[in-house]
Amino acid sequence: MWVADHWKDYEVLDTSGGEKLERWGEYLLVRPDPQVIWNTPRLHPGWSQKNGHYHRSTKGGGEWEFFRLPQEWSIGYRDLTFRLKPFHFKHTGLFPEQAVNWDWFSSIIQNAGRPLKILNLFAYTGGATLSAARAGAAVTHVDASRGMVTWARENAAASGLADAPIRWLVDDCVKFVEREIRRGNHYDGIIMDPPSYGRGPRGEIWKIEDHLYPLLERTAQILSRDACFFLINSYTTGLQPAVLRYLLQICIANRLGGQVEADEIGLPLSCSNLVLPCGASGRWICEA
């Protein structure tokens, strides 16, 4: 498993009964987690000192309950700053487990020996975009949600990257890739974090089981001849790491060579030596 174990402003303090107790900077949140199927004693004092609690509804969805929690605050990872705020469906605007992937491709960018052009699809609030830009890449950030792109730009400003070479685009990722193919544009590295289900800005429906493979086939066409890496992440339960590995092998490695690997990603638990699974990632890297 690839573990995001370099955080200082974030940690999973405890887990039990379908929930996890997390520290986000100086604030404690309790959020549901489907992987936590054990029901062990809740010994950490933070359970009774929480600042926010997301309660799942038996009818789907849920709602937040707050206790002395500001509407917005910030945490840092290495030299990046991320604005946080609890919003719909339990999220805060950041997935801390992705830091293990940020570190991976940042090292590739820094050691490439040349300027790299990176594409980040389904780019959310910009964690991967900012990590790639900080490492020295020129980044194209694409997300269908105008609100998420605005949030990402605010994170860039907070991180001192307001003037970094980042293109911020509100667009449907599938249609953007198709246009890039027609334009003949290419990228040295591509990052992709598709949702299980979603809608584009004009109501386009995305279902990962139906649309991921065709998108990966198209996206592989805009890798440059001397591309360095491709990263795909998934939180969809049915897509095991082996599936991501097969997709990258079929769509990229069979044509360009290189190495493919895939594994679960996770977060260490402060209360034990266990690691909480948080999805899966597949990585392709060119031959050294």
Helix (H) or strand (E) holding 52: strand 52-56
Instruction: Report the CATH superfamily, name and number, of domain 2-84.
Output: Golgi alpha-mannosidase II (2.60.40.1180)
- Give the tens place of pLDDT for each residue, 143-153: 999 999 999 99
CATH number of the domain located at residue range(s) 97-285 in this protein: 3.40.50.150
Query: Which pTM does this prediction carry?
Result: 0.94
**Residue 176, SS3 per DSSP:** helix
pLDDT of residue 154: 98
Instruction: Name the nearest CA neighbour of 132 among 208, 212, 192.
Output: 192
Instruction: Let me know the angle formed at the C-alpha of 13 by 8 and 19, rounded to the nearest 5 degrees.
Output: 130
- Phi, psi dihedral angles at 101 (to 5 degrees): -80, -35
pLDDT, tens digit only, all 288 positions of the chain: 999 999 999 999 999 999 999 999 999 999 999 999 999 999 899 999 999 999 988 777 889 999 999 999 999 999 999 999 998 789 999 999 999 999 999 999 999 999 999 999 999 999 999 999 999 999 999 999 999 999 999 999 999 999 999 999 999 899 999 999 999 999 999 999 988 777 666 676 767 777 899 999 999 999 999 999 999 999 876 788 999 999 999 999 999 999 999 999 999 999 888 999 999 999 999 975
**Do 98 and 6 touch, CB atoms closer than 8 A?**
no
Give start-end residues of each CATH 3.40.50.150 domain in the chain: 97-285
Give start-end residues of each CATH 2.60.40.1180 domain in the chain: 2-84
| 237 vs 150: CA distance, rounded Å | 29
